[in-house]
Amino acid sequence: MLNRISGVILAGGANKRFGGKTKANIIVKGETIISRIIFTISDLFDEKIIVTNRPEEFRGFTHCKIIKDLYFKAGPLGGIHAALKSLSGDAIFVFAGDMPFLDRIIINDQINEFNRNEYDVLIPKIGKLIEPLHAIYRKSVLEDLEKFLFEGTNRAVRDFLLELNVGYFQVSETDTNRSAFTNINSPSDISELIF
């Protein structure tokens, strides 16, 4: 495992637009999103963690550590916090559980960039868009995150990032790269992708 980084899949959320169905379990091109993610990252990380408040839905992923949020209704930050808290290594590479087309080359390049620098967080940037749920978070941010979650009602990832030493990993604007950051927000996003 490079730099003792764990791969983390955030598979929580209310998923209201999907009638409460967990987005990570939605089928895209014949396979669940979470299966696609795990296949892509399987040999990049020794430790793989699924953060979910519905652990029964992921029982079959015996090669993954399955953990629950410790801060509830905290959105993605709650999942990031739970993963950092359970971490035995140095950092986590966080993936949103609704990103079906992750790219191993981008992930590898991002890990290499992180290893060359001392950022608290490394976030990819494609054009003017940043992807904080395809990012590497150093374990050392845990104390700041707990303070942020405990002291306020603000649960925005981008606001938390303002307090950290954040690096941006520039990704070329190509169709393939844009596809790697596709996330599924509503049923209309996948209507053309399901068999």
Residue-level pLDDT at 29: 85
User: What's the full length of the chain, in residues?
Assistant: 195
Rounded Cα distance, 15 and 122, in Å: 27
Assigned domain for 185 exists: yes
pLDDT tens digits for range 125-144: 999 999 999 999 999 999 99
**Residues 6 or more apart whose Cβ sits within 8 Å of residue 40:** 102, 103, 104, 107
Residue-level pLDDT at 105: 96
pLDDT tens digits for range 48-80: 999 998 999 999 999 999 999 988 888 999 999
The total number of structural domains in the chain stands at: 1
- Compute, in degrees rounded to 10, the torsion defined by CA atoms 135, 9, 15, 78: -70
Domain span at 115: 2-190
Assigned domain for 87 exists: yes
Assigned domain for 195 exists: no
Assigned domain for 154 exists: yes
With 90 as the cut, is the pLDDT of residue 190 above it?
Answer: no
Tell me how many degrees the CA angle 67-157-151 measures, rounded to the nearest 5. Answer: 85
pLDDT range class, residue 113, cuts 50, 70, 90: very high
Assigned domain for 91 exists: yes
Residue (of 106, 102, 80, 97) closest to 184 by Cα position? 97
Residue (of 41, 32, 20) closest to 195 by Cα position? 32
pLDDT range class, residue 16, cuts 50, 70, 90: low
pLDDT tens digits for range 169-188: 999 999 999 999 998 876 65
How confident is the prediction for the chain on average, in pLDDT?
89
Note the pTM of the prediction, 2 decimals: 0.91
Residue-level pLDDT at 192: 52
Assigned domain for 52 exists: yes
Assigned domain for 81 exists: yes
Q: Give the domain CATH number at 147.
A: 3.90.550.10
Assigned domain for 145 exists: yes
